[in-house]
Amino acid sequence: MTAHMRDGVNRNRPQYWDARFAEDGFAYGTEPNDFLVSVVQQIRVGDALCLCEGEGRNATFLTQRGFRCTAVDFSPVALRKAESLAAQRGVIIATRCADMAGFDPGIAQWDLVTMIFGQPDCTIRRALYARIATCLRPGGAFVLETKAEEGATAESRYPGSANLCAELIDLEFEIARDGLRVLKEGRYHDGEQRTAQIFAFKRLKR
C-alpha cells in the first residue's frame, strides 16, 4: 500500500475530491481557516497563491482584504464553487486547475503562499516545498496548516512541523508548532485534530 492510500482510497486522484466537492453545501465551510486569520495582519498585501485551495474560502477571504488571489486545485468542481463563493462575497479570484505533482509556482511572483490542509504524498510535497522560497518575493510569507500524526516520520503524508520546516529551505519561521485543537470548518473538519502550523517569511536580501 503506497503512502497516498488510506482505507483503500487514493486521495491523490482528482476524482475523489470532485465527488466530495460535488456534495451539497461546502465541505469545509465558507469561513477562512482561523490560523490564517490570526496571522494575516502581519503579511504584506499583494499577490497571493492559495495551493490546494478547494472551494475557495481562504482565497475569498484574502481577496476581501485586498490581496490578488490565484486559487490552485486539481478539482475543477472545487474551483467552480470557489469562483461562485467569491462572486457571492462580491470579489473575483483567479483559478487554475493543476496537480501539485510537478507544479511550478514561478519565481519571485508572490507576496503570500498558503497551503491549508493540502496534504500530498511526501515526494510531491518535498518537490513543491523546495520551490516555496523561490516563488516568494523578498519578505513574502508562507502560511500552512495541515494534519499531523504524532510520531510520524518525514515519509508520512502527515509529518509534524519539524519535518516540514526541514523541507522549507531559505525561510525564517515565526511559528512552527504541533498541537491538538478543535476544528470547526464544515462537516469534514469538525472536532479535535492534531495539526502542524507554520508561518514563515522569505529572507530579505542583505
Is 90 exceeded by the pLDDT of residue 146? yes
The mean per-residue pLDDT over the stretch 19-31 comes to 87
Place 6 in a pLDDT band, splitting at 50, 70 and 90: very low
In eight-state DSSP terms, residue 63 is H
Cα separation, 173 vs 116, whole angstroms: 17
Residue 187 has what pLDDT?
Answer: 86
The mean per-residue pLDDT over the stretch 115-144 comes to 96
Residue 49 · residue 96 · CB < 8 Å = no
Highest mean pLDDT among 1-10, 34-43, 183-192: 34-43
C-alpha cell at 61: 477571504
- Taking CA atoms, 131 is separated from 57, 82, 103, 203, in Å, by 24, 25, 10, 14
Cα separation, 84 vs 123, whole angstroms: 33
Residue 165 · residue 198 · CB < 8 Å = yes
Residue 111 · residue 62 · CB < 8 Å = no
Cα separation, 196 vs 164, whole angstroms: 9
Cα separation, 124 vs 157, whole angstroms: 10
The mean per-residue pLDDT over the stretch 98-111 comes to 96
Residue 2 has what pLDDT?
Answer: 32
Residue 15 has what pLDDT?
Answer: 79
Domains and CATH numbers, the chain: 5-202 (3.40.50.150)
Residue 56 has what pLDDT?
Answer: 97
The pTM of this model reads 0.91
